[in-house]
Amino acid sequence: MPSSPLRAAQLQRLIEAGQSIVAQLDVDAVLEELLEIAREVTGARFAAIGVLAANRTELERFITQGVDASTHAAIGDLPLGRGILGALISDPRPLRLDLVEADPRSYGVPEHHPPMHTFLGVPILVRGEAWGNLYLTEKDDGEPFTASDEEAAVILAAWAAIAMQNARLYQDVDARRDALERVMQTLEATSAIARAVGGERDVERVLGLIVERARTLVEARAVVIALQDEQRLVVAAGAGEFDDRALGRTIAGAAETLGVVVRDLQPARIRDVATEIGLPGHRIGVDGAQSALLVPLVFREQPLGILAAFDRRGHDPQFGPAHEALFQSFAASAATAVAAARSVERDRLRGSIDAAERERQRWARELHDDTLQGLGALRMLLSGALRGDEAKLRATVERAVDMLAMQVDDLRGLITELRPAALDDLGLQAALESLVERFGAAGGPALDAEIAVADASGRLDPELETAVYRVVQEALHNVLKHAGAHQATLRAWRSADQVHLQISDDGRGFDEATPSTGFGLVGMRERVELAGGTLDVTASPGGGTQISARLPVRLLLDEPVVQGVADELGAG
């Protein structure tokens, strides 16, 4: 490059330009400022930057200053990098021409293009590789560009290269930060689901948690889960602007796009819900939706359904690739949560059915072993008496009356165990005390009982009273029938927020590693968990058994309060 001292004004402006350009973190802003300063320090009327395409043989972008919009329109397509412009592409070194049209490489200028006689071009090198070129034409004074103009342009191009490297690094960091934020959002949402599912076994609650978290994650107006039921999709949960009346509605068949998402296990971004899904909004519970993001719920390569978000909140309702990636990652954890909750629900149902069947078998044995055999013996007694004399008949009838009284008492005891009247009429305290009395009368081990579940704050919720009664009943039944114990204890008391139960015996116990599968333990645990409580069993062979349960207090509303609520609802 010819050496020529820069004018003081140029040098000062270049120093200022370097500070200004390097401070920019946006590539487009860097280019605009570069053009403006280049025109200023060289006196050029027109300036342009050509950005090279990936193949490095032509221009991808062409940014200009000095040409108004109407002239741009009249010129038409921007140059691709032929002629003089192409010379800098093939040979990225500064190029200064006093008369463009005299150069054999010149193709001339397009029609309607402003006059262009003088020319100065310098390459913009980023890390030694040509990124683009700076083009300047037509000095204001009509004179050719000087060596100092060329030196100034080269310095500006160097400043621009540094600025663009900084901008690109910043954009990379920014993109990585955004990606990290999305990963963190997904991690937080999926962790919340995992924590919740760890203590939650109800499918509806799990689904509700998923849709709420998903809606927050992608800032959607509404989120809906539709689960696959055989060959149908059924609306299972929704959050946000969702109409609950859509729950349970079948949407398969009416919406082919939804079926494709489930069948092909591929996400879909919908820009126009009305035309691309073809499903009335009320069918899925979201009216007036414009855009949608659909992702499949997949567990172990098996489709469970879809997770659908509708309309991003803000000025643009559309979902982008980043939202799709975030939603798809979240859906993977959501599918695992749904599958786990469904598995727990199936196991719970199976356990309840098995427990109920064992309970029926137990009562059948009680009726067969005691009541039916007693009635059979009574029948034989009376049949034999018919063949005897009057005195023998009288004596037999008197004995039969006594036997019937015993059978009536046994049946009354069975009925009381099924549903003690004291529990309904007098409450839990009286029902447990009656249960202890019957235990003592049955000739079992000595029972040390302390019962203090009555409280001035009022009766417990009927379901809670039943659960407490059944747990104690079943535990004492096991002591009586199976433990082989000499001594047993019962402690039942009520604190401010819990009902506490402790039943223990000194009987044969069992190995906790292989506990009994009978109805006793299964039924007790099921009842306690359904009441929101916890049950602990400790046992060892020959070391007896200890059962502890804690159930949260739920009070029965007084009748006037209930009536008042009903009246208010009716008035509303």
Instruction: Please give the mean pLDDT across all residues of the chain.
Output: 76
Shared domain for 398 and 456, answered yes or no, is no
Question: Over 80: is that where the pLDDT of 468 sits?
Answer: yes
Instruction: Specify whether 390 is located in the same domain as 298.
Output: yes
Q: What's the pLDDT at 505? A: 92
Q: In terms of pLDDT, which residue wins out, 355 or 250?
A: 250
Edge-to-edge strands, sheet with 534-539: 446-452, 487-494, 498-505, 545-552, 534-539
Per-residue model confidence (pLDDT) at position 365 = 61
Which residues does residue 310 pair with via DSSP β-bridges, in sequence order? Answer: 222, 292
In a domain, 233, yes or no: yes
Domain match, 404 and 453 both: no
Model confidence pLDDT, tens digit, residues 189-209: 666 655 654 455 567 788 888
> What's the pLDDT at 570?
38
Give 2 or 8, the one with higher predicted confidence.
8
Do 412 and 441 belong to one domain?
no
For residues 411 and 429, state if they share a domain. no
* Comparison of pLDDT for 86 and 296, the residue scoring more: 296
CA distances from 35 to 31, 52, 136, 159 (A): 6, 17, 9, 12
Q: State mean pLDDT over 18-29.
A: 66
Residues 32 and 34: their CA atoms lie apart, in Å, by 5
Q: Give the Å distances, CA to CA, from 286 to 221, 223, 224, 241.
A: 9, 9, 8, 7
pLDDT of 352 reads 57
**Same domain? 407 vs 456:** no
Nearest alpha-carbon partner for 472 in 555, 528, 414, 514:
528
Q: Is residue 386 part of a domain?
A: yes
- In this prediction, residue 354 has a pLDDT band, given cuts at 50, 70 and 90, of low
The answer to the question of residue 571 being in a domain is no
pLDDT at 3: 47
The predicted model gives 306-322 an average pLDDT of 85
Q: How confident is the model at residue 560 (pLDDT cuts 50, 70, 90)?
A: very low
Q: Which tops the pLDDT comparison, 3 or 32? A: 32
Question: Domain holding 302: CATH number?
Answer: 3.30.450.40
Q: pLDDT digits over 147-163, tens only? A: 888 888 888 888 777 77
Domain boundary among 418, 444, 465: 418
Please say if the pLDDT value at position 557 is more than 60: no
pLDDT number for residue 550 = 93
- Beta-carbon contacts of residue 475 (< 8 Å; ≥ 6 apart): 490, 501, 503, 520, 524, 547
Residue 135 sits in which domain range?
Answer: 8-171
Q: What is the pLDDT of residues 415-462, one digit of tens each?
A: 555 556 667 677 888 888 988 988 888 888 899 999 998 877 777 888
Instruction: With H, G, I as helix, E, B as strand and everything else as coil, classify residue 82.
Output: coil
* Final residue of a structural domain among 366, 397, 418: 418
- What stretches of 444-557 adopt beta strand conformation (E)? 446-452, 487-494, 498-505, 534-539, 545-552
Angle at 428 between CA 423 and CA 430, to 5 degrees: 80
**pLDDT by residue (tens digit) across 496-548?**
889 999 999 998 888 765 555 444 677 788 788 878 889 998 888 888 999 99
The 10s digit of each residue's pLDDT in 296-312 is: 888 877 888 888 889 88
> Which residue would you say has higher pLDDT here, 237 or 425?
237
The larger pLDDT score, comparing residue 103 to residue 511, is at 103
- What average pLDDT score do residues 476-501 get? 90
Residue 2 banded pLDDT, cuts 50, 70, 90: very low
Q: Is residue 483 included in any domain, yes or no? A: yes
pLDDT computed for residue 500 by the predictor = 94
Cα 339 to Cα 364: distance, rounded to the nearest angstrom: 37
Domain shared by 451 and 513, yes or no? yes
With bands split at pLDDT 50, 70 and 90, how would you rate the model's confidence at 217?
A: confident
Secondary element (H or E) of residue 174: helix 147-199
pLDDT tens digits for 62-75?
888 887 777 777 67
Residues 324 and 385 in one domain: yes
Q: Are residues 112 and 86 in the same domain?
A: yes
Kindly state the tokens that stand for 514: 């292989």
Comparing CA positions, the residue from 561, 544, 470 lying closest to residue 505 is 544
Q: Is residue 434 part of a domain?
A: yes
Q: State the pairing for strand pair 487-494/446-452.
A: parallel
Same domain? For 209 and 335 the reply is yes
153 touches 35 (CB < 8 A)? no
Domain assignment present for 507? yes
Do 253 and 234 lie in one domain? The reply is: yes
Q: How many separate domains does the chain show?
A: 3
**Above 60 in pLDDT, residue 277?**
yes
**Predicted pLDDT of residue 493:** 93
Asked whether residue 191 is assigned to any structural domain, the reply reads no
* Residue 475 pLDDT greater than 70, yes or no: yes
CA 485 to mean position of chain CA atoms: 51
- Would you say residue 560 lies in a domain? no
- In percent, the amount of the chain with pLDDT more than 70 equals 69
pLDDT of residue 487: 92
- Same domain? For 216 and 345 the reply is yes
- pLDDT of residue 572 exceeding 50, the answer is no
CATH of the domain at 540: 3.30.565.10
- Exposure string over 162-195, b if 16+ CB within 10 A, otherwise e: ebbebbeeeeeeeeeeeeeebeebbeebbebbee
Q: Is 70 exceeded by the pLDDT of residue 469?
A: yes
The predicted pLDDT at position 519 comes to 47
Of 228, 253, 226, which Cα lies nearest the Cα of 237?
226
CA dihedral over 510, 512, 513, 514, signed as positive or negative: positive
User: Is residue 488's pLDDT more than 90?
Assistant: yes
Which residue from 502, 510, 519 is spatially nearest to 485, judged by alpha carbons? Answer: 510
Of 380, 397, 418, the one marking the end of a domain is 418
In this prediction, residue 569 carries a pLDDT of 34
Q: What distances in angstroms separate CA 71 from CA 66, 76, 112, one per listed residue?
A: 10, 9, 7
Q: Residue 16 pLDDT more than 60?
A: yes
Q: What residues are paired with 200 via a beta bridge?
A: none
